[in-house]
Structure 1
Amino acid sequence: MLDTLFRGLFDTTLTDTIAPGDFLLCVGVSLLVGLLLCGMTMWRSRFSRSLVVTLAVLPAVVCVVIMMVNGNVGTGVAVAGAFNLVRFRSAPGSAREIAALFVAMGAGLITGMGYLGYGILFTLILGAAMMVYTALSLRAGRIDATERTLHITIPEDLDYTGVFEPVLDRYTRRYSLTQVRTTNMGSLFRLTYELTLKDPAREKQFLDQLRIRNGNLEISLGHQDNTVATL
């Protein structure tokens, strides 16, 4: 009865049937691989909850798909076409997040083919490599307190060319205008500068001089933007 339950309706005598024990073993190892990958990828990093759950479950999902294909070329082509139709309906994510998803899919592919030891070994090697690269990037990417991002809101009728340069020349070592966009239904402009302050202690004086020139509209000065997209 159990043998009949775990056989496909369209199986033939030439079709290899996966034993329930082997199926559970592969899925269990895939879930373990997903947990290992989550822990190693999240080390000293920030990720959304949805991405964490995806990394934990994705190896098992890919594993089951590969086991069900089981050498059937036609089914494999159909599965590949179905995956091409799937799109993540959220922010595309950073390069690190996309790489973690590819690692999860690769681990699931290996375990789905039955190479459980290689799947675990692959996860440990790639996870350790990502941890090393994260440690190196954190060491090299320490924030400089003088490097800032400046946002200045100005009226629509103000010609901003040459208005703020004298103040920027006085209080910064370098600056560059990186973005100009409209806000408030087009009635205001927002200028974005990347700059390096000469003296962070004179920050208030710097902002006061800018406020005189932009009509006392909103100004924000913070550390350089490092927007993190999440899945």
Structure 2
Amino acid sequence: MLNQIFDSVFLDSKSTINPGMLILSIGVSLLLGILLAAVYKYKTLYTKEFVITICLLPSLIAIIIFLVNGNVGTSVAVAGTFSLIRFRSAAGGAKEILSIFIATAIGIATGMGLLLLATAFTFLLSAMLIIYENTDFTKASQTRRQVIITVPDSLDYEYLLEGIFSNTCTQVEFSSLKTLSKKKALELIYVVNLKAEISDKNFIDRLLDYKHDIEVSISRAATKKKVL
């Protein structure tokens, strides 16, 4: 009786899905998804919806792998569906994308019956994520800043900034220049390493002391840009 659930409605096609293996695969996928979600939540600002997604995505992928089961036509249809979802979805953060990839890998492995492999690499990657979160290797520099300066387009900004940077920074890297036609201004982006004794406020004050009609913005993390 149970096997009849997995019989195709088409008379000339029979499902080859093993109900017991499917249930076991889904169960392992759910447990590994919960583990992955718990690791993702560690030291991360998260949403309830995304955590639920991470918990259930491996099971969904596992079911899809079971349904494909070597059928080339079904595989192409599934690939097309995921392509549509990809281009209709908003881009996420790097950690979110990594979690999605891990969840997908879990689902593929469990769907293929590689339960031990799925469990092993899930525990390994989870451990590595926690280790990286707690080591200095991945911590942002305490003195490195992205500086955005908006100046009038008539200002000789190179002469102005050269003197300020030499007194406040140990390293300066010019990133980009953008014209703001409506404001008749230029937007300059630099990546700098501030000297240990120079605070963010002190750096801004020195810029404003030279020129009061400029705008300055400082951030510790580089502004994310959308690229193809």
Give 1:181's aligned residue: 178
Q: Distance in 1 between matches of 2:117 and 2:170?
A: 53
| Contact 1:27–1:60 under 8 Å retained in 2 | yes
State the AA in 2 paired with 1:223: R
1:198 corresponds, among 191, 195, 200, to: 195
Query: Once the 2 structures are TM-superposed, how far is the Cα of residue 42 of structure 1 from its aligned partner?
Result: 3.6
Please give the TM-score of this superposition, normalised by the length of structure 2.
0.77
| Contact 1:147–1:197 under 8 Å retained in 2 | yes
Secondary structure, in 3 states, of the residue corresponding to 1:44? coil
Secondary structure, in 3 states, of the residue corresponding to 1:200? coil
Cα gap change, 1:49/1:175 in structure 2, threshold over 3 Å: closer, same or farther? farther
Unaligned runs of 5+ in 2: none
C-alpha RMSD over aligned residues: 3.3
Cα gap change, 1:33/1:12 in structure 2, threshold over 3 Å: closer, same or farther? farther
Query: Once the 2 structures are TM-superposed, how far is the Cα of residue 179 of structure 1 from its aligned partner?
Result: 2.2
Give 1:208's aligned residue: 205
> Pairwise mapping of residues 10-25 of structure 1 onto structure 2 (< 5 A)?
10=10, 12=12, 15-19=15-19, 22-25=21-24
Cα gap change, 1:12/1:204 in structure 2, threshold over 3 Å: closer, same or farther? closer
> Pairwise mapping of residues 1-231 of structure 1 onto structure 2 (< 5 A)?
4-10=4-10, 12=12, 15-19=15-19, 22-47=21-46, 49=48, 51-88=50-87, 89-91=89-91, 93-94=93-94, 96-135=95-134, 138-183=135-180, 185-198=182-195, 200=197, 206-225=203-222, 227=224
Query: Once the 2 structures are TM-superposed, how far is the Cα of residue 34 of structure 1 from its aligned partner?
Result: 0.8
Cα gap change, 1:111/1:183 in structure 2, threshold over 3 Å: closer, same or farther? same
| Contact 1:26–1:112 under 8 Å retained in 2 | yes
Cα gap change, 1:115/1:11 in structure 2, threshold over 3 Å: closer, same or farther? farther
Secondary structure, in 3 states, of the residue corresponding to 2:146? strand
Deviations 1:133-163 (A, max 9, x none): 443xx41244544333322221233232322
Q: Distance in 1 between matches of 2:176 and 2:27?
A: 50
Secondary structure, in 3 states, of the residue corresponding to 1:101? helix
Please give the TM-score of this superposition, normalised by the length of structure 1.
0.76
Query: Once the 2 structures are TM-superposed, how far is the Cα of residue 40 of structure 1 from its aligned partner?
Result: 2.4
